[in-house]
Structure 1
Amino acid sequence: QKGVKVAFRLSLFKIPMLWEAEHIDYQANKEFKDRQIKGPFSKWEHTHTFIPDGTGASIMEDHVEFKLPFGFLSQPFYRFAKKDFERMFSYRHRVLKYDLEHHVDATKKKRILISGASGTIGTILVPFLRTCGHDVIRLVRKEGKLLNDELFWDPYNGVLDLDKAGPIDAVINLNGVDISRGRWTKKQKKRIIDSRIMTTQVLVKKMSELEHKPSVFISSSAIGFYGEGEDRILSETTDRGKCFISRVCRQWEEASMDAETHGIRTIQLRIGVVLTPAGGALKRMELPFKLGCGVKLSHGRQYMSWISMDDVLSGVLYLLNNSDIKGPVNLVAPNPVTNSEFSKTLARVFSKKVIFTLPKFVALGLWGQMGKETLLTSARVAPEKLLDNGFLFQHETLFPALKDMLGRQD
């Protein structure tokens, strides 16, 4: 709407800053325009235009007028800024096209409850599902005044009133603290366990008490379930591993299984290494590799089972709508790679080379058990259940996935 102002934070050259924008024009189904009030540019005016192109189709056009700060001193930087803008808008248009293709196939509207909505996956999944036409309710732990789409809960004290949410068709559980942050002390291990098991138990208990229960419960797990797999192909029927994170995943999945006894279709989502510059492994790796300082971990022969964020989103949507699928599901791309291959491919995206190797003893010295189980363990995981049920991946191989996720398309 005209006159509406929006403020958001961004990072420019790793420097956090506030950007304030105002919508200065709006023409329904035709265009809208915004301009910078406060931010990194001397001038920024962006017009979004939508041009009809036959039945059920349109052309989206972005027109940007901008000026860099510091007057004539910034002239040498204009070509770099223009290149970055072209890359950004190319990425946005690709993502929009991809999302719209899924919206065309969307089934009837659902009311979906999501825990862990503020995490790396949740912050992207929520708007994706909403633009598909679904209502999304986010579980939050802040007390006080809540937004219309928020519902308070305190899982560590068993507090959750699902009746306040109204009828719920599906529940997606994405809870769990990041396991890759720092060494696994006794205190951290307890946080890893409690943030997964206790939250899942509360969700299942509260769902079981509803008169009208959701039809599907999708609960996170991880490919850490399999532990050290060496070069064996690991499917949903493979036994769990013996390491700490394998035991955690097993307890996590067992906590979700109780929902099945109440007639709720339940899926344990064994998620691989999610590729997105918004968080996780790729966010931490992007800058070093871009600067030509990418590394291979140890001998580099350990397998990494990755998946693009695009395929995480469409995979979750597919599982919501496919009533034939239940039980454990490997959410990974069909072509895992070794750590050495991953490092070389990421370096190639930035036209760099991998020239460093991080020895095993250094990784163990820095991160201990966490480094051993998340960085040095091999997991060659296959998405058998998704493939057998006809799911089509947007990104089957690594190089195009990385180029898309990082906006590096030619």
Structure 2
Amino acid sequence: MRVVVAGSSGLIGTALVAKLRHGGDEVLRLVRREPQAPDERQWDPPAGAVEEGTFDGVDAVVNLCGAGIADRRWSQARKQVLLDSRVEPTEVIAAAVAESGVPVLVNGSAVGYYGTIPAGPADEAEPAGRGFLAELCVRWEAATETARRAGARVVLARTAQVIAPSGGLLGPLRPLFALGLGGKLGDGKQYMPWIHLDDEVDALAFLVHEDIAGPVNLAGPTPATNAEFTRAFGRAEHRPAPFRVPRAALRVAVGDFADEILRSQHLVPKVLQDNGFPFRYDTVDDAITAVEQR
């Protein structure tokens, strides 16, 4: 297949490009700067412009655009960046998919769509929740509508927290655990959806090739609480995790993002499971152990 990937330089995008190419797919990468390689095509989302011919003969587009959710403390200005970096590029891609007749769009989204799920396990049938991330995801997913109306198979890939050797969920936690300052967030009872990077990219490639449409939870098959995650990471790092980080301290550190961190989301990846997707890592212990051994 000929696949265009937007957001190809990020943690997930870089791994996905390698995965698709290893499987025999041809990959073109959208870049905002002047192209420097034969596989790069330039685009300018604010201008609504894409290099002519980019989508000719393309079988699928994967859109992973978006500024990092947890990269900086949340302020009103940062929230606007998070929104603009997702909705506007998605509208441009959806319009190009529709105009060029591309048959498949796999569009990034997040489990933040669901807001708080006080009781579970819940699956993709769960309605949108409340809060900034939920509202962002609703608008992000709605931006694909032009492609869907044109007949494209649109997948809304709602990704959980990614466990990876570098970056992802574990990146900012390692220094704290190394100093013996690791601990559960709040009371630790909240469910925290997770997925190993290998399963994330395998799932995205799976969704490119399989006849699946609509929302899909990209999350590990065994839900875990924050306390369970903290214990697993502490064991893998050979460091105790005795502390508890209260809500007030989180708000000082990350602003309004604290409210999102402490939401409980007891989610399962029903669509992937129903379609026979083979997860490599069944539990958060498996995922963290595999990462720490690399």
State the TM-score, normalized to the length of structure 2: 0.96
1:198 aligns with 88
Q: Cα distance, 1:215 vs. partner?
A: 2.0
Q: Cα distance, 1:261 vs. partner?
A: 1.2
Match among 259, 271, 289 for residue 385 of structure 1: 271
User: Is contact 2:163–2:170 with CA below 8 Å preserved after alignment?
Assistant: yes
2:244 aligns with 357
User: Is contact 2:19–2:202 with CA below 8 Å preserved after alignment?
Assistant: no
Match among 114, 121, 124 for residue 226 of structure 1: 114
Structure 2 counterpart of 1:384, which letter? K
Q: Cα distance, 1:350 vs. partner?
A: 2.1
Asked whether 1:329 is paired with 2:220, we answer: no
Q: Cα distance, 1:230 vs. partner?
A: 2.3
Structure 2 counterpart of 1:317, which letter? A
- Whichever structure has more strand as a proportion of its residues is 1
2:129 aligns with 241
Asked whether 1:181 is paired with 2:105, we answer: no
SS of the residue aligned with 2:15? helix
Structure 2 counterpart of 1:267, which letter? V
Question: How do 1:143-222 and structure 2 match up within 5 A?
Answer: 143=34, 145-210=35-100, 213-222=101-110
2:156 aligns with 268
Q: Cα distance, 1:207 vs. partner?
A: 1.6
Q: Cα distance, 1:377 vs. partner?
A: 1.1
Asked whether 1:399 is paired with 2:285, we answer: yes
SS of the residue aligned with 1:296? strand
2:262 aligns with 376
Q: Cα distance, 1:190 vs. partner?
A: 1.2
1:122 aligns with 13
In structure 2, stretches of 5+ residues that fail to align are: none
Asked whether 1:283 is paired with 2:174, we answer: no
Q: Please give the per-residue CA displacement for 1:301-344, whole angstroms capped at 9, x wherever unaligned.
A: 11111000110111112111211x10000000111111111001
Structure 2 counterpart of 1:149, which letter? D
State the TM-score, normalized to the length of structure 1: 0.69
Q: Cα distance, 1:162 vs. partner?
A: 4.9
Instruction: Give the ranges of 4+ consecutive aligned residues of structure 1 lying more than 3 Å apart after TM superposition.
Output: none
User: Is contact 1:200–1:256 with CA below 8 Å preserved after alignment?
Assistant: yes
User: Is contact 2:2–2:59 with CA below 8 Å preserved after alignment?
Assistant: yes
Instruction: Provide the rounded CA distance (Å) in 2 between the counterparts of 1:164 and 1:247.
Output: 31
In structure 1, stretches of 5+ residues that fail to align are: 1-109
Instruction: Provide the rounded CA distance (Å) in 2 between the counterparts of 1:150 and 1:360.
Output: 44
Aligned pairs, number: 294
Match among 6, 25, 29 for residue 134 of structure 1: 25
User: Is contact 1:303–1:337 with CA below 8 Å preserved after alignment?
Assistant: yes
Structure 1 counterpart of 2:89, which letter? T
Instruction: Provide the rounded CA distance (Å) in 2 between the counterparts of 1:164 and 1:351.
Output: 49
SS of the residue aligned with 1:241? coil
Q: Quick one: higher RCO (CA 8 Å, sep 6+), 1 or 2?
A: 2
Q: Cα distance, 1:278 vs. partner?
A: 2.1
| % same residue | 36
1:251 aligns with 139
Match among 287, 292, 300 for residue 188 of structure 2: 300
Asked whether 1:342 is paired with 2:229, we answer: yes
User: Is contact 2:115–2:265 with CA below 8 Å preserved after alignment?
Assistant: yes
User: Is contact 2:164–2:170 with CA below 8 Å preserved after alignment?
Assistant: yes
Q: Cα distance, 1:289 vs. partner?
A: 2.1
Q: Cα distance, 1:290 vs. partner?
A: 3.8
What RMSD over aligned residues (CA atoms) do the two structures have, in Å? 1.4
Instruction: Provide the rounded CA distance (Å) in 1 between the counterparts of 2:293 and 2:112.
Output: 29
User: Is contact 2:32–2:44 with CA below 8 Å preserved after alignment?
Assistant: yes
User: Is contact 1:290–1:350 with CA below 8 Å preserved after alignment?
Assistant: yes
Question: 1:186 and 1:315, CA in 2 relative to 1: closer, same or farther beyond 3 A?
Answer: same
